Amino acid sequence: MAIPCDCKTLNISVNNVLEPFGFECHPFLTGWYNQLVSEKFQLNYPPSTAAVVVISQPSMFEKAFLPFLQEEFDSSQIRDPIDQCMLFYFHKVKKSFSEQGIDVESLHDFQLDTRRRPRILVQTAGHVSGAVRYYKPSDVEIEQKNNNYYPVCHHPRWGGWFALRGVFIFPQIQDSTLEKIEPPQNLSAPEASSMLELYNLHWQDWRWRDIGNPESRYSEEQIKYFETPPPDRFQLIQKYLDNREL
């Protein structure tokens, strides 16, 4: 029997847990997602099943990641530190709902299934929730059309200075009343084209993230972390920890 709860209420509950740590959450239905993905990526739930997509804002690094490093980080694990951090904060949400007797499944952007395919296409989830707009090569005018370009998402507030981190699915909760929100259209056609080209051809210089005059950017500390090759990030982490102890 479905628990009498709606998708918006669930989203508020998830936000209450994660918002203080630099995250934002947006509700959607699994059927909306399944309509846009091929069969191999579809979620095996009824179309009205409630779901929530989680986005990290520019402030996540300072509000969630650095405190996590100081208090919970396990340097002996093979898993990437950011992935460890996301698992930690997602667990907070799952624990909160478990205490209410509500089942919840979490799907992370970094997780693969047994066939080495993503368990969730987070860009599509963000798009159907109305939180971001998902730009594909077929959606924009590009001088030298290249359908091998990777698609990219744009956030109405953060531009490209954000990340889609994963999805919560609530199998017990069906909600046919949630109104679908059209993804934001904040970019002009030339801006969308520029963003797609910069993302694919010059992603290393971060310019694609600034398209659309974002309200906030990553801190210099955060940019340095992501620009550092993964094997060298542990030295940087130790430096962060040493500085926070001063």
Among the residue ranges 2-16, 24-38, 177-191, the one predicted with the least confidence is 2-16
Distance of CA 107 to the CA centre of its chain: 11
Contacts of 93 (CB under 8 A, 6+ apart): 14, 17, 18, 104, 106, 168
With CA atoms as reference, report the closest residue to 58 among 233, 221, 187, 184. Answer: 221
Give residue 241's pLDDT: 82
Residue 240 pLDDT class (50, 70, 90 cuts): confident
Residue 68: its H or E element: helix 66-71
- pLDDT for 246 beyond 50: no
Two tokens, residue 81:
């530190």
- pLDDT for 92 beyond 80: yes
In DSSP notation, 15-58 reads: HHHHGGGTEEEEEEEHHHHHHHS-GGG--SS-TTEEEEEEEE-T
High-pLDDT (> 70) share of the chain, %: 95
Contacts of 3 (CB under 8 A, 6+ apart): 101, 102, 172, 173
Among the residue ranges 16-30, 68-82, 170-184, 215-229, the one predicted with the least confidence is 68-82
Contacts of 201 (CB under 8 A, 6+ apart): none
- Mean pLDDT computed over 32-51: 97
Q: For 207, list phi and psi in degrees, rounded to 5.
A: -60, -35
- Mean pLDDT computed over 164-193: 95
pLDDT tens track for 67-91: 999 998 887 887 899 999 999 999 9
Give residue 1's pLDDT: 41
Q: What is the mean pLDDT of the chain?
A: 92
Residue 239 pLDDT class (50, 70, 90 cuts): confident
- pLDDT for 140 beyond 90: no
Decide: 82 and 73 in contact? Cβ < 8 Å: no
- pLDDT for 2 beyond 70: no
- Mean pLDDT computed over 23-34: 98
Two tokens, residue 83:
């992935």
Query: Which residue matches tokens 């007797």?
Result: 101
What DSSP character marks residue 64? I
- Mean pLDDT computed over 200-220: 95
Strand partners, 174: 49
